[in-house]
Amino acid sequence: MLSILIPTYNTDITALVTSLLDQTREAGVVYELIFCEDASTSYQEQNSALTAQPYVRALINKTNLGRTATRSKLAKNAQYDWLLFLDADVLIENDQFIKNYLTALPSGDSIIVGGTSYVDIPPKNKELRWKYGIKREAKNAEIRMENPSYIISQNILVKKEVFFSLNIVESRRYGLDNIFSYQIYHQKINVLHIDNPIVHTGLEENLIFLDKSLQAIDTLIHYERSGSVSRDFTSLQQAYQKLKKLRLDFVYPTIFSLFKLGIQNNIVSNRPSLFLFDLFRLNYYIKSRKNA
Amino acid sequence: MSQPVLQLSHAAIYQRENLILSEVNVTIEPGDFVYLIGKTGSGKSSFMKTLYGDLPLTEGKGNIVGVDLNGLKEKNIPFLRRKLGVVFQDFKLLNDRTVIDNLKFVLKATGWKDKTAMEAKIDAVLDKVGMKSKGFKYPYQLSGGEQQRIAIARALLNDPELILADEPTGNLDPQTSVEVMEVLQEINKNGNTILMATHDYALLLKYPSKTLKCDGNKVFEVVQKTV
């Protein structure tokens, strides 16, 4: 009754998949596991060895479709009603991981979110992504329940029909979790957050993460305009709305430009400040919004 | 009379909407060793994939190890796979664990629980492929031929009624191919039914047996000398 679905791109998922298989067996649940190589160029051979295992199948995209379109493809190929989506760049350390999800099923909610966690020490050159993850993403279920629609999709259990109603944007952009979360909010879908985190291991280097964060802002602005997300859904948008109320939105970029270099140097350093990271993103949001 | 292990009549093999093979009539009896030959792109792989449920059979009739291939549901594929042993060209062994743990992993997946019984079974299949002493090695510490023997051992774990070997020597040099072939021959002598897809005609000459050929969208039986 459980379809475990993993979109993967250039990632060795052997450790993730084998720990999942061990746990599904242990839990005695009826399951299948499908992964989809999104036009990967490496680790395909290692991953393909997993298909010799019973209940494991692989799909292959010849061209890169991106994570959300790949998830749709996986969901269409799934035979069971509950879909456990996991990103390829995570590991499972809790040996009760599958059981915890199964225990939460009778709650009646259509989405169950396990949450994320990070290693204790920041990997070198990846301090920004690590700190952002630790401070902004790795929250316990109680705190996440305060704003239940807002989810990180790398570790969720979702009813198939609900997934299809939510995953309406299938572009190859970064930052689509904002859109997915907004759809949860907009469609008033019940979400249960539980403490069942994966360990997110696939962290980007500082400059790459900074770039992806800015791309995520482009995505946000794009879908603001098309109406797929409201103009005050994320904390970034809310900060902008406050500035606008105070009529500071026009001067902000000018003041910011005086400090831009110093701020950027801090963000990509080994001791980044998330406050400065927020200021940086706010500036980008204001400027891109004007230009868009 | 025992039932055939595989019977296809008037079957058509499709890869997506493309017709690959039509009017396929094939019967394999228990204990047979059957080759499936043909050039790359002639439909060998699609044929094999249809047999283990990777491609659906939509036209004609098919029955394999007692499982009806017509209208085979996704959820029945694992059941079918348990009754088959599949050997792949690229071995498909997990490199992060030893040979024994590779085999144990499959046994657990197919419902085995008793530790002693699992150990005995692993011992038995490794013995059959002459790899009893290599159980504690990691796949990457073994040669290609040895890895394929382990993959054959894995295929034997659940006493399959039919072994499907898809180009099992495709990644091996001629000498090693012969060694792997010897193992398959030995297993066949012990009563296992084997269907082996190959394009290695040297093996056919050395170990003659019933041979099916894919050519021009058809599958037909060939007499060895015309191969």
Residue B75 has pLDDT above 80, yes or no: no
**Closest Cα to residue A150, out of A186, A118, A174?**
A186
Neighbours of B18 (CB within 10 A): 8
CB contact under 8 A, B78 and A18: no
For residues A50-77, average pLDDT: 94
Q: What is the mean pLDDT of chain A?
A: 95
Which residue type occupies A26? E
Locate the DSSP E strands across chain B.
6-15, 18-28, 33-37, 59-64, 67-68, 84-87, 162-166, 194-197, 210-215, 218-222
* pLDDT at residue B77, as a whole number: 81
CA-CA-CA-CA torsion sign (A123, A125, A129, A131): positive
Asked if B27 and B6 touch (Cβ cutoff 8 Å), the reply is yes
* pLDDT at residue B226, as a whole number: 47
Is A79 in the B-facing interface, judged by CB distances under 8 Å?
Answer: yes
How many whole angstroms separate alpha carbon B203 and alpha carbon B188?
Answer: 15
CB contact under 8 A, B96 and A21: no
Q: What pLDDT band is residue B110 in, cutting at 50, 70 and 90?
A: confident
Domain A2-202's class? alpha beta
Q: What is the mean pLDDT of chain B?
A: 92
* pLDDT at residue B15, as a whole number: 85
Residue B224 has pLDDT above 80, yes or no: no
Nearest CA in chain B to A54: B78
Is B81 in the A-facing interface, judged by CB distances under 8 Å?
Answer: yes
Three-state DSSP class for residue A155: strand
CB contact under 8 A, A49 and B95: yes
In chain B, where are the structural domains located?
6-92+160-226
Three-state DSSP class for residue A185: helix
**Closest Cα to residue A109, out of A181, A150, A72, A157?**
A157
Is A50 in the B-facing interface, judged by CB distances under 8 Å?
Answer: yes
* pLDDT at residue B227, as a whole number: 46
- The answer for B173, left when phi > 0, alpha when psi is -120 to 50, beta otherwise, is beta
CB contact under 8 A, A18 and B90: no
* pLDDT at residue B173, as a whole number: 94
Q: Which two tokens stand for residue B220?
A: 């037909």
Is A14 in the B-facing interface, judged by CB distances under 8 Å?
Answer: yes
Residue A159: its H or E element: strand A155-159
Taking only residues 102 to 131 of chain B, the set having a beta carbon closer than 8 angstroms to any beta carbon of chain A reads: 105-106, 108-110
What CATH number does domain B6-92+160-226 carry, 3.40.50.2020, 3.40.50.1360, 3.40.50.11540, 3.40.50.300? Answer: 3.40.50.300
> Going by DSSP bridges, is the β-strand pair A191-193/A111-113 parallel, antiparallel, or unpaired?
parallel
Residue B82 has pLDDT above 90, yes or no: no
> Going by DSSP bridges, is the β-strand pair A198-200/B33-37 parallel, antiparallel, or unpaired?
unpaired
The whole-model pTM stands at 0.89
Report the gap between the CA of B98 and the closest CA in chain A (Å). 14
Chain segment A163-202, per-residue pLDDT in tens? 999 999 989 999 999 999 999 999 999 999 999 999 999 9
Q: CB neighbours of B180 closer than 8 A, spacing ≥ 6?
A: B145, B148, B149, B152, B168, B169, B172
* pLDDT at residue B225, as a whole number: 60
Chain segment A3-57, per-residue pLDDT in tens? 999 999 999 999 999 999 999 988 989 899 999 999 999 999 999 999 998 889 9
Report the gap between the CA of B1 and the closest CA in chain A (Å). 32
Locate the DSSP E strands across A2-81.
2-8, 31-38, 56-61
In chain A, where are the structural domains located?
2-202, 207-291
Chain segment A266-275, per-residue pLDDT in tens? 999 999 999 9
